[in-house]
Structure 1
Amino acid sequence: MRNFDLAPLYRATVGFDRIADMMDRVLTQEVAQPGYPPYNIEKTDESAYRISLAVAGFTEDELTVEVREQALIVSASKAPEDDGKVYLHRGIATRAFERRFALADHVRVTGALHENGMLHIDLVREIPEALKPRRIAIEGTRGGNVKTVEAKTEDA
């Protein structure tokens, strides 16, 4: 088990509380996060992602997908079955779960699809116009020459 003291980060930075909280949350989830249900995260485009969860045994009505406080929360609960079946082996787990995914700034959920025992959640990162690179005009003092220089920013 690893313990990191993030107090120096809190003391030396202003306005980065969210980053420190996220690091703290990731470090604590490393131990506490269960492996059920299994999932994949894939990058489907330059700014698009897909989370796929294996949710065999659940119907659309038993699954919940919501975004709350910059987190994607996927949960499921199944009503207790009293159908009189006797299982010799029950390998398909249909126990209740809640899985959380921290979302970066400007990432939004565009849709969810449940098919063949898989729940696919599509996300897209939309950078606001104010944060996109833009050209800045440079005016000359002699002869009215105007130069343009492209402002470059790193894409996070």
Structure 2
Amino acid sequence: MRQAYLIGAGAAILGASIFYASGMGLRPGSFSLHMGAHLLLSLGAAPLLVLAFPRWRPNVGGPLAFVAFNLVTYGVHLPAVYARLMTPGGMFLESLLSQMAACALLGAAITFSRDAYAMTAPDDTALGGVLMWVVGGFVVMAGAFSHFMQLLGTAEARNEPTH
């Protein structure tokens, strides 16, 4: 099974590289292609790598994990920080630090912040925000739903009340 996870992670990384290279060739740089690459890395490659190598997973939970996810997610999307992350090394760092815990809300904010990212066209910024909002939000929601279903199954197996 590890091999399948690694192949999937490799495919996501290759796809992200293609998106990223395509977007950097455009002037101004394409925010929507950057967001597509980012989603492939953070919501595709990163979870598959954790599944392939479960011992890599940090043992952080509760309020600390929530605060860390949100600080990193919002921090790397500040326009000044984002401009510095538009490099291959920056993309790699960004995908290591963030798993898009708040991507739906942030994606919506980016969608409607048409003039905040001066380095890309307003329509392209909006498209990148929608990708983050819809695709990223759906993946995070699917993960939360999966975890919730596991919790229900565990409670049911022990005959505990689920309320």
Q: Decide: shared fold, TM above 0.5.
A: no
* Band of TM-score, shorter chain: under 0.3
The TM-score with structure 1 as length reference comes to 0.27
The TM-score with structure 2 as length reference comes to 0.26
Instruction: Give the structure with the larger strand fraction.
Output: 1
